Structure 1
Amino acid sequence: MKTDDIDAFVAVVRCQSISQAADSLALTQPAITRRVQNLEQALGVELFDRNTKPLKPTAIGMQVYQKCLAILREMDGLRDLVALDTPPSGVLRLGVPQTIGDIVLLNALKHLRGQFPDLRAQVVTGWGANLVSKIERGELDAAAALFPAGKVFAENIVGESIGKLELVAVCAKADLPKKPIKLADCYDRGWVLNPDGCGFRAGLQRTLADQGLSLKVNLETFGTELQLGLVADGMGLGLVPRPLLERSAHYESLAVLPLKDFKPVMDLWLIYPRFLGNLQAAVNAFGEWVAQSLKQERDAA
């Protein structure tokens, strides 16, 4: 059997579609079909139930899929073993949360271009969980994402904590209480937050739930600067990284809410597949520059 046939089979299981698998491998649909049939003939079993939509593997097909994943991981490790000494080149696919992209990305990409001139970076933004999923599917080579300390990743994913980011609850300066308060004391004000899926929001929601409170959302919108503008206009409370508050155009109209029972800190993680080959040096450098940029912002604040 051929590794090309295994690649095609794994892609079809992952995409649940021959056409999408073909797109992901830059092949035609007949080529994908032929490679899957080759693997079935080599093994002497039917790997897919072709009467289902979306396309699903048979019981034995799912077992073969797990074995094929292990084979491909070993093949990646073998390629990496002989590629480590070659300089990185081509495309480096990176992911960052939009929330911190403005803080860490520009400086990191500038240094990356300087140190690895044959490497071209492509960057996508998204929630941390979404970025991790893209790494697991082979769509990204690395990501810098925010998760709580002690986060555990899948076996084939490496996660390194490279820094910490303080979050602060903010309010309009005119609404600043005269003394420290608890979350329950400001519950009626409501919040201006990112849409559901944001780790900041999820942490706040868990803390409120521990106190028997639900999350009251007045407005949900993307964009930290927009959120801070709405908070400054008295539309509710906000939750943002302190460095973004310090650099906001609305800073003079805002104040940090003195909460006694909510002082969130997130870890910044560098996340990447266990086998990266000659991209490892570039990913390590990216992580170092992201961590340095975050530290500079934190020290300046």
Structure 2
Amino acid sequence: MKLNEIRTFVTVAEAQSVQEAGNRLGLTQSAVSRLIQRLEAELGVTLFDRQTKPLALTRDGEVALAHARRILGAATDFSDAFAGSVEPRGLLRLGVSHVLVPLAAGRPLDELRAAFPGLTVRIHSDWSAPLTEQVRTGVLDGAVMLLGDGQAPPEDLPARRLSREEVSVIASAEQAAAGPWSLSDMNAAGWVLQPDGCKYRNALGLALAPLGARPNVMVEAFDQTLLVSLVARGVGFGLAPLRLIAPVDAAAALRIRPVTVPDFRFGVAVWLVRARVTGRIGPVFDRLEDSLTRQLTASPAGVHSAAE
């Protein structure tokens, strides 16, 4: 099998269309089809279900895609090893945990664009577990993610812990002043949280379980800016690491307060995870790590104590 067959297969799988893959590769549809057919003949499997629209991978095709991406990545790295100090260019596929998007897409992104003008950054937001798997399979070049206390990325992926953050219960200034609040009282008033899958929400569920209760969610959304704004308006209590609030919405951060809850304690860590082989984009991750670390170190708590 040849690299152009493998590259064509990956392009068709990503485009879900022979015609679109041909456009991206500068080939005719018939040429794309011939290359796919040759690869299928060599592998002895059918890679695509040709009865579906858009074009879908078969089970064998899904397995082949993960291997094909690794092969293309290794080929690129082999070429890059002899490229000297070539400036990183092309596409950087970066995963970011939902709550970290405002942090990563702020000053760190600006610094990357200034340092590497030939780079296009594609940001994909998801939970940490899917991001980890996508880095491992080559869908992403790396990811900035949140992991709970005691958790760490898989040992087969290069990773660096950038900071540890204590997750606090937050409320509007008026709601915080109406306390003292117990966890049960807060749950009766309601929460503003991310959907199921959020580590904060999972930790809250574990804390409420001994009380025979589940999180009473008033509003749920992925958008952290929206959640902080809703907490500031008094819609419900929220959960957030204080240092990560200011990059989300500095104005809203001034209107909220942390509330001490003796029976709730949870911490998370910010991690930067890279693919096993990053090739010529390795310096990009070095710069990103430095920028994120400085941003986290410089970020103030962002909110005042409820006792003030």
TM-score after normalising by structure 1: 0.77
Map 1:10-159 onto structure 2 (within 5 A).
Answer: 10=10, 17-19=16-18, 22=21, 26=25, 29-43=29-43, 45-48=44-47, 50=49, 53=52, 55-57=56-58, 68=68, 71-72=71-72, 74-83=74-83, 85-97=85-97, 99-114=99-114, 116-124=115-123, 126-129=125-128, 131-132=131-132, 135=135, 138=138, 140-149=140-149, 150-153=151-154, 155=156, 157-159=157-159
Unaligned runs of 5+ in 1: none
Alignment match of 1:277 (pick from 261, 276, 279): 279
Alignment match, 1:234 = 234
1:48/1:210 CA distance change after superposition, 3 Å: farther
- In the alignment, does 2:173 pair up with 1:173? yes
Structure 1 residues 148 and 81 mapped into 2: Cα distance closer, same or farther (>3 Å)?
farther
Q: Aligned partners of 1:283 and 1:242: how far apart in 2?
A: 25
Question: Identical aligned pairs, as a percentage?
Answer: 25
Stretches of structure 2 lacking an aligned partner (at least 5 in a row): 304-308
After TM superposition, give the deviation of residue 234 of structure 1 in Å: 3.1
- Spell out, residue by residue over 1:13-47, the C-alpha distance to the aligned partner (whole angstroms, 9 max, x if none): x559444982796455433321121123345x243
Give deviations 1:87-139, integer Å, cap 9, x for gaps. 3234434343453344454322343344x344334252523445445545655
Q: Quick one: distance in 2 between partners of 1:84 and 1:298?
A: 40
Distance 1:33 1:245 in 2: 50
SS at match of 1:262: coil
Q: Is 1:220 aligned to 2:220, yes or no?
A: yes
SS of aligned partner of 1:213: coil
Contact 1:127 1:199 in 2 (8 A): no
For residue 126 of structure 1, give the secondary structure of its aligned residue in structure 2. strand
Q: Deviations over 1:227-280 (max 9, x none)?
A: 334334432211123035456424454321211132222211112222211110
Distance (Å, rounded) in 1 between the aligned partners of 2:126 and 2:84: 30
When normalised by structure 2's length, the TM-score is 0.75
The residue aligned with 1:296 is 298
Distance 1:20 1:212, change over 3 A: farther
**Residue identity matched to 1:285:** R
Cα 1:58–1:98 shift into 2, 3 Å: closer
Q: Which range moved further: 48-57 or 234-243? A: 48-57
Distance 1:154 1:263 in 2: 27
Higher mean C-alpha displacement, 267-276 vs 169-178: 169-178
SS at match of 2:40: helix
SS in 1 for 2:158: strand
TM superposition shift of 1:151: 3.0
Read off the aligned partner of 2:241 and give its amino acid letter.
P
Q: Matched residues in 2 for 1:16 and 1:211: separation?
A: 50
User: Secondary structure of 1:227's match?
Assistant: helix
Q: How many residue pairs get matched?
A: 295
Instruction: Output the amino acid matched with 1:151.
Output: A
Give the 3 Å change call, closer, same or farther, for CA 179–28 of structure 1 in structure 2.
Answer: farther
Cα separation, partners in 2 of 1:80 and 1:262, compared to 1, 3 Å: farther
Instruction: State the AA in 2 paired with 1:175.
Output: Q
Match of residue 256 from structure 1: 258
Cα–Cα, structure 1 residues 51 and 98, in superposed 2: closer, same or farther, change >3 Å? closer
Shift in Å, 1:174: 3.2
- Whether contact under 8 Å (1:88, 1:119) holds in the other structure is yes
Any conservation in 2 of the 1:80–1:275 contact (CA below 8 Å)?
no
1:11–1:24: 8 Å Cα contact kept in structure 2?
no
Point out the more displaced range, 260-269 or 128-137.
Answer: 128-137
Q: Contact 1:164–1:266 at 8 Å: present in 2 too?
A: yes
Partner of 2:306: none
Secondary structure in 1 matching 2:81: helix
